Amino acid sequence: MEKLCVHTMTTKPWSLDDCARHYPAAGVEGITVWRQYLEGRDPLSAGAMLRDAGLDIVALCRGGFFPAKNATGLQAAIDDNLRAIEMAEALGAPQIVLVCGAVPGQPLEESRRQITEGIAAILPVARQANIRLAIEPLHPMYADDRSAINTMAQAHAICDALGSPAHLGIAVDVYHVWWDETLEAQIKLAGERNRLFAFHVCDWKTPTTDLLNDRGLMGEGCIPIRKIKSWVNAAGFNGFNEVEIFSNKYWSMDQNEYLQRITSAYQQHVL
């Protein structure tokens, strides 16, 4: 069960307290906290509660969504990301996952420019707080409204454009990038440039019946998870393997039973 981290969104029906109680009991060692789980709570005490439960806080999820149609929207996005940095610092999360954003109909190159500028604007604050920012390339099927950054190459381009700052890197989620023939090379490059910050696992089911919430448990689909993990490890990554599954099907079942399936799938198809 080594290095197993679960995203709170994976067990969506559970509260943060439920996660703190059930994750360690199942052998889960790490947790990535989605921001909505901290609504109405003090992040400082939430962080202490998770650590007291024996969990490593791997990341806060998610910042980003930089693109907007006007200056007000762009500034609002930056302000929101600055709040996320504050929240991560209080929680004790060492990094924030960035889902970069997109505005339907706005040229992708314009969104990419806004994303680069947005990251540039928050980077000094992140550095000061010692919070790392991990750009997560999203599958091209989310290019319309979730992220204009759809490949590792594009994530690298932003890191390069900003001068390869130490606090900026990439989160590799197998669901988003498994199809890319350049993936191995891009992961290797991320290792060389010290920007391989996170590794997320789940699986791609055939058929996939929903663009958002029909991800599979590891082993249920076609993604060569172990092969990609070997590339990530060869590139020097030795952090947590984060299980991030959005699934109407799994959210509707008993979450303790589901967590058992997760740990079992983790042992069979990730380790």
Interacting residue ranges for its own copies, rule: CB under 8 A: 104-105, 107-109, 112, 139-141, 143-145, 150-151, 153-154, 178-181, 204, 206-209, 211, 221-222, 224
Report yes or no: 78 and 65 within 8 Å, Cβ to Cβ: no
Nearer to its own copies, 42 or 144 (CB): 144
Nearer to its own copies, 179 or 260 (CB): 179
Nearer to its own copies, 84 or 170 (CB): 170
CB of 126 to its own copies, least distance (A): 26
Nearer to its own copies, 94 or 219 (CB): 219
CB of 269 to its own copies, least distance (A): 12
Nearer to its own copies, 54 or 107 (CB): 107
Q: What angle do CA 131, 50, 217 make, to 5 degrees?
A: 85
CB of 104 to its own copies, least distance (A): 4
As given in the structure block, the two tokens for residue 85 are 């940095």
CB count, 10 Å around CB of 270?
A: 18
Which residue pairs from 160-167 have beta carbons closer than 8 angstroms and sit at least 24 positions apart in sequence?
161/116, 162/116, 162/119, 162/120, 162/123, 164/193, 164/195, 165/123, 165/127, 166/127, 166/194, 167/123, 167/126, 167/127, 167/130, 167/131, 167/132, 167/133
CB count, 10 Å around CB of 153?
A: 15
CB of 4 to its own copies, least distance (A): 24
CB of 225 to its own copies, least distance (A): 12
